[in-house]
Structures are given as structure tokens and as C-alpha cells.
Amino acid sequence: MIDHRVSLNGLNSFGKIIMTDLENVDFLIIGGGIAGASAGYELSKFGSCIILEKENETGYHTTGRSAAIYTTTYMAGDPVIRSLVLPSGKFLHHPPKGFSDYPLLTPRGMLYLAEKKKTDQLLALYEKLRQSTQDVKILNKDEIKKIIPILSDKYTHKAIFEETVFDMDVHAIHEGFLKGIRQKGGKIITGAGAEKITFKDGFWTVWTAKGSFKSKIIINAAGAWADKVALLAGISPIHIQPCRRTLVLVSPPKDLEINNYPFCYEIDEEFYFKPDAGKILVSPADIAPSEPCDAQPEEIDIAYGAHYLEEATDIKITKIDHSWAGLRNHVKDHYPVAGFAPEASGFFWLAGQDGFGIKTAPALGRITAALVRGKDIPKDIKSHGLTKEMICPKRLK
């Protein structure tokens, strides 16, 4: 283990970076979202760990803006994603003692909606899902109406129901990881954006407004900014593409009991909606390419969200309670990137979690801790068919 000198630098009275002492750690993580937190949680079991977060709070960007759905059949049961969500589910269903005071998952169920003209497509999807799970069934109109009486006739010809789909408590998961890091003596430093990154004699130095930090290993978990952080370090980008997605919150009519409604998902991902703490959360499932930024919802997408909900249900929307947008960040094959940059020593990518970064975080954290230490992917994850090559940055060259 590397020698630790834990004297934290700060800003001088003129707000400039001061560098009176370098803080040395085994693992330096850039980005305090769910990716950085899960990696730090696992890595802090093996050495000292610091997370540097540019915002004044962790989880401000994509992590704090998700729809918070856990399903094992994401992307119609895609095997790579499934090999990450299944072991992550084990963790989320049964987290270590003391991880959180709250359940991380609560049952929600999922209804795949399709108009009558898409019935063949719905049945094909059902066959595809059956290759991954027996927990799907086709429902007829009466069965659909029993589960969600407000659904409009447009979507009640047939639907697929998957029971073992859950709401995630994203805040509790994120906080659980961060707490675990602190318990091992690690630190989460906010307001500490990486501004300059240098490499000398086998060590990376990351310069921030809160001081400079030195490590043999840096983990780039900067979400939408992952390419920008790489460029600071002189590493070639993986061409991460942030895409904005909007969520809209509306109040249901008074006296309508909605809490047991499932997550309703149009099979071409035109829209989705679900209950959320007494309100209805709806997304027009927009995929608008964006620069890395503090994403804000556009009026047109809010309007589409409201329109889809009105079209799919009996609800008439009179007021939007709240709306927000977040960036989902993908690389060209839409699989995550976890592995050392091929051209430099000790620069590890953990990026590209697109729309599945919360439900895969426990597994990706463990994979990161294994690969960073020169080990293979943990056996239980590998047993689902995942290999290093499927997620390595080199595949993107």
C-alpha cells in the first residue's frame, strides 16, 4: 500500500489552487455519481480511496435524475446487461448489514404496452423475453384493466406483464456506497473538479480547487464528462455521447389510488410512466444528443410527456408539478466501458452506463475493483457470460 499523507489542501483567500502538500492515495476516483461511489465502495476494501466531485454535492447529475427502475430484462434481456444486473440484483435485494436503513428495492412490476397494430411485435418480444425469464405472461384486456383500470383502450388489446421489476431507492444505494467508503477511511471531496491532470514517474496528479491529489491509479467515472477528463490526462476519448432524457411529474386525480400501478413501458420506448410517491412520473423517452452539461428539460419534451400520459390513460393533466432532464451517456455499442486505457499506465475508464447505470452499479463496482488490481472479472459475474473484452475500452478503438 502507498504511503498516505492526509493533509487536505484548500483554496487560498484569492480562490486560487494552492499546493502546499500532495495527498497520496491508492485509488483516486474522478466523479461522485453512482459509478464513482460503487467503485470507491469496492476499492476502499483494498486501499485508501478519494473521490473528487466537481459539484458541491454528489449525485447532482445523472445519478440523481433517473427513473429508478430495476429490471433483469433491460434491452429485451440483452446478455451483457443481464450479466451485470443479475449479480447487482443479489446485492440490491440483500445488501450487507448496515448498508442502508431502507429497502433498496420495492416491488413495482412492469407492463409492456402495445397498440393492437403492434401485436405481432409484442408477441415476438414476449418470445425474446422468455429466453431470459419465465416471469413474463401475456395479459388480455380484463387482466390488464384489473392491474391498471385507467389505461385507455388503445393499449388494452394485449400486454406483457413482468412481475419481478422493482423501484430502486437510488438515494439510499448511492449513500450506502459513500458511507462504506468513509467507514474505511476514504474521503469524498466535493467542489473538487479535476482541472489539470499530469503524469510523472508512474504517478498521476490531479489538480483541483481543493488541492492536488496523487495516485498510481485514477478511475475516470465522470459520466457525461468522461471524455473531457480523459483529454485533460492526454488520453484519447472513447467518444461518449450524452443524450438528454426528460422526466415529468404530475398529480393524479384526487381519490385515484395509483400506488400499485406497474411501470408501464411502450414497447418501442415511445414513452413510459410509473407511480412515484403519490404522483405519476412520465417520460417521452427522448434521446436528444447533448454536450456534457447541467441538462434542463425542453418545453416540447414536457408537452410530449403529458400528451403520452393523456393518450395512454384516462388522466387529464391540468398542471405539471415538476420536470427535469438528465444525460444518459453511451458509447457506440451501448455497453459500459470498464478497463484500463490501453495507451497509459493506471488510467481506468468506468463510463458509458447509458440508461442502466444504477441497476448495474454493484456489479460494475466489483468489476472495477477486480480489474484495477489486475484480477479477472469476479467468478459469479463471469458465470453469466461476461468477459473483460466485452467492456474494455480497447474495443472502441
Ligand X SMILES: Cc1cc2nc3c(=O)[nH]c(=O)nc-3n(C[C@H](O)[C@H](O)[C@H](O)COP(=O)(O)OP(=O)(O)OC[C@H]3O[C@@H](n4cnc5c(N)ncnc54)[C@H](O)[C@@H]3O)c2cc1C
At its nearest, how many Å lie between ligand X and the CB of residue 383? 22
DSSP string, 238-289: ---EEEEEEEEEEPPPTT---TTPPEEEETT-S-EEEEETTEEEEE----EE
At its nearest, how many Å lie between ligand X and the CB of residue 31? 3
Q: Which is nearer to ligand X, 176 or 223 (CB)?
A: 223
Q: Which is nearer to ligand X, 297 or 346 (CB)?
A: 297
- Taking CA atoms, 294 is separated from 33, 311, 326, in Å, by 14, 30, 8
Could you give the 3-state DSSP secondary structure of residue 235? Answer: coil
128 burial via Cβ count (<10 Å: 0-12, 13-18, 19+): middle
At its nearest, how many Å lie between ligand X and the CB of residue 219? 11
At its nearest, how many Å lie between ligand X and the CB of residue 255? 29
At its nearest, how many Å lie between ligand X and the CB of residue 319? 21
Asked whether the beta carbons of 166 and 108 are under 8 A apart, the reply is yes
Strand partners, 30: 52, 220
At its nearest, how many Å lie between ligand X and the CB of residue 91? 13
At its nearest, how many Å lie between ligand X and the CB of residue 266? 15
Q: Which is nearer to ligand X, 252 or 362 (CB)?
A: 362
Residues forming contacts to ligand X in the complex (CB under 6 A) are: 30-36, 52-55, 60-63, 65-69, 193-194, 221-225, 229, 245, 247, 326-328, 353-359
Q: Which is nearer to ligand X, 159 or 194 (CB)?
A: 194
* φ, ψ of residue 12 in degrees (nearest 5): -85, 180
Helix (H) or strand (E) holding 136: strand 136-139
Asked whether the beta carbons of 243 and 298 are under 8 A apart, the reply is no
Cell (9 digits) for 232:
485533460
Distance in angstroms (rounded) separating the CA atoms of residues 177 and 175? 5
Q: Which is nearer to ligand X, 57 or 314 (CB)?
A: 57
Strand partners, 24: 214
At its nearest, how many Å lie between ligand X and the CB of residue 328? 5
Strand partners, 280: 250, 275
Q: Which is nearer to ligand X, 35 or 341 (CB)?
A: 35
Asked whether the beta carbons of 351 and 336 are under 8 A apart, the reply is yes
Q: Which is nearer to ligand X, 136 or 358 (CB)?
A: 358
Q: Which is nearer to ligand X, 123 or 249 (CB)?
A: 249
117 burial via Cβ count (<10 Å: 0-12, 13-18, 19+): exposed
